[in-house]
Amino acid sequence: MADSVRLENEAAQSTNALGPLIGVAREDFVGAVALLLRETASDPARTFRHAQAMGEDMVKIMTGKSELAPDPRDKRFMDPAWQFNPFFRAGVQYYLAVQKGMRGWLEDLELDELERNRANFIAQIILDGLSPTNTLAGNPTAQKRLIDSGGLSLIKGLQNAYNDIVHNKGMVSQVDKRPFKLGENIATSKGEVVLRTEMMELIHYAPTTDEVYEIPQLTIPPQINKMYINDLSPEKSVVKWQVDNGIQTFVISWRNPTKEQGKWGMADYVASCAEAMEAVAAITGSKTVNVSAGCSGGQTASVLASKLAAEKSDLMGTLTLMVCVLHPKATDIEAGSLVSENGMQLARQRAMKAGVIEADDLARGFAWLRPNDLIWNYVINNYLLGADPPAFDVLFWNADATNLSASLMADFLTLYETLAFTKKGEVEMADHKVDLSKVTSDLFILGGVTDHITPWKATYRSTQLFGSKDVTYVLSQSGHMQAILNPPTNPKAKYFVQKKAGKLPATADDWLKGVEEVKGSWWPFWIEWLQARAGEKKAAPAKLGNAKYKPVGPAPGLYVVEEV
């Protein structure tokens, strides 16, 4: 049970997300390995010195004099056998000696920050793969399970491996999908699809209060994941939280693009967002629409906000950006160091030829960027221990990824390459020159303390890009999607916010000096912020949609269940 909970928590913070990593080509991996080989050959004396030090560690291990021991927090080596069984103790010490030797050698290399990140990243992938826990012979927990189960764990593990080869395209399963069914125990909030186009569905959720605020809220989800992350379960539903607090709630559901729809680019997605906003305004009678978005949806919403500002439109009210990076740097995450100009061009060309990047290929790529969390954990759990992967709603959603159109991928890479959001009218995107300094909407920006995909200090940079005078930044204590899905029912929830109201400091480090820790979920804080900017209250509508935008089917709609 404890292992299952651990796996749930780890993978829930390892969500696929659009970013510069979609531009990593296989040549970038080859180049990173070549860097290590080049440095090995460039200074033989240095290489020999580190090999000699590693050899000395090996001698100590063979003579029983080594004091190498795994980090007590390393979950791979929690079994007492690693400490008390001479065979396993020596095994982990050999592994730690290799780890120590490689890290010492890397520290001695003359590399710049980008090259060092690249070398560290590749080295860690190699070290993770060499761990003795990844094999039956080197995993005492798996061996005990084999004996205790009379061999059944091995049979079940082989069955799991066979099922993954046949039904999961060779990728180890991260979730048991069987307990979940959309509309029954996932995405259960009541609502209606009130607009359906080739690209998206617009869902209007039913109010649960007698009165609602006059200014509605539209959520723009990422294009790589399905929209029901906003409505996973009643206790983890942002949608339910909004409607229960009087917010008229609408969510876009993107269609999963096929090869023929690979031409859909940022201009098309922004046009769909604008169309959805106009529909929301018409349905509610409001002149403005508040918008929230996460991850790549936040980048899309930011392009939309820029375009509306360029058109001098007052349609957008407030803007909430969750775990979204608008000003990326190559050193934000080690994996980002792999991205090269040539690699991005190759990735573009391959995507354009295929029309779309398939969801399975995206998931596979992301998994190998974090193999210890997203591959080896599950190899051990599913194959060596013969256990089922956890049945966890966030993992179910994460495994239900969508394709990415080639044109949209190219546009996201252009935003990354040109740092378009940091420029003022220099980069064209979605038929206008991007300039966030013209966007004056009140802003609410969220980051996650342990977010490795969109590091919180990178999300903080967004506070400096807009022309808004009212900007609030909140730091949730969790990782990527868990930072968002941190409801009041979570007893461990906490967040950080600036003590004194006023202009935010220029840097995340300066902001951190003036924050206070608040116990509990950030959801109540956000909903109060939103309600204060949602106008007056009025009677809740008796029906969903209106005469022009009539309901055409219940939430969560058809596009989330459509097979491609």
Render pLDDT for 177-229 as a digit per residue (tens, 0 to 9).
889 999 999 999 999 999 999 999 999 999 999 999 999 999 999 998 899 99
Cα separation, 71 vs 90, whole angstroms: 15
Give the pLDDT confidence score for residue 44 in this predicted structure: 77
> Given phi > 0 = left and psi -120 to 50 = alpha, else beta, which region is 507?
beta
Give the pLDDT confidence score for residue 356 in this predicted structure: 86
Number of domains in the chain: 2
Domain span at residue 94 reads 43-134
Give the pLDDT confidence score for residue 24 in this predicted structure: 58
Cα separation, 255 vs 525, whole angstroms: 32
47 plus 112 within the same structural domain = yes
95 plus 214 within the same structural domain = no
Give the pLDDT confidence score for residue 452 in this predicted structure: 79
Domain boundary among 101, 119, 134: 134
Give the pLDDT confidence score for residue 354 in this predicted structure: 79
441 plus 555 within the same structural domain = yes
103: in domain: yes
Domain boundary among 111, 134, 157: 134
Residues taking part in catalysis: 295
Give the pLDDT confidence score for residue 539 in this predicted structure: 98
Please check whether residue 297 is in contact with residue 291, taking contact to mean a CB–CB distance below 8 angstroms: no
Cα separation, 27 vs 170, whole angstroms: 22
82 plus 211 within the same structural domain = no
320: in domain: yes
* Residues lower than pLDDT 50 in the chain: 1-2, 4-5, 7-8, 11-12, 14, 16-20
427 plus 526 within the same structural domain = yes
250: in domain: yes
CA-based angle 142:143:146, to the nearest 5? 85
Bridge partners of 292, per DSSP, are 219, 320
Please check whether residue 357 is in contact with residue 261, taking contact to mean a CB–CB distance below 8 angstroms: no
Bridge partners of 429, per DSSP, are 432
DSSP β-ladder status, 217-220 and 249-254:
parallel
CATH number, domain of 509, equals: 3.40.50.1820
363: in domain: no
Give the pLDDT confidence score for residue 47 in this predicted structure: 74
326 plus 438 within the same structural domain = yes
Neighbours of 440 (CB within 10 A): 14
Cα separation, 44 vs 51, whole angstroms: 10
430 plus 282 within the same structural domain = yes
Give the pLDDT confidence score for residue 16 in this predicted structure: 47
482: in domain: yes
Bridge partners of 405, per DSSP, are 356
Indicate the SS3 state at residue 176.
coil
146: in domain: no
127 plus 218 within the same structural domain = no
94 plus 196 within the same structural domain = no
**Tens of pLDDT, residues 394-440:** 888 888 888 989 899 889 989 988 999 999 999 999 999 999 999 99
Which two three-digit tokens encode residue 6?
């651990």
Please check whether residue 518 is in contact with residue 525, taking contact to mean a CB–CB distance below 8 angstroms: yes
Cα separation, 232 vs 53, whole angstroms: 52
Which two three-digit tokens encode residue 195?
């607009």
Domain boundary among 134, 158, 178: 134
Which two three-digit tokens encode residue 10?
């780890």
Q: How many residues are recorded in the chain?
A: 564
CA 419 to chain centre: 20
Neighbours of 364 (CB within 10 A): 16
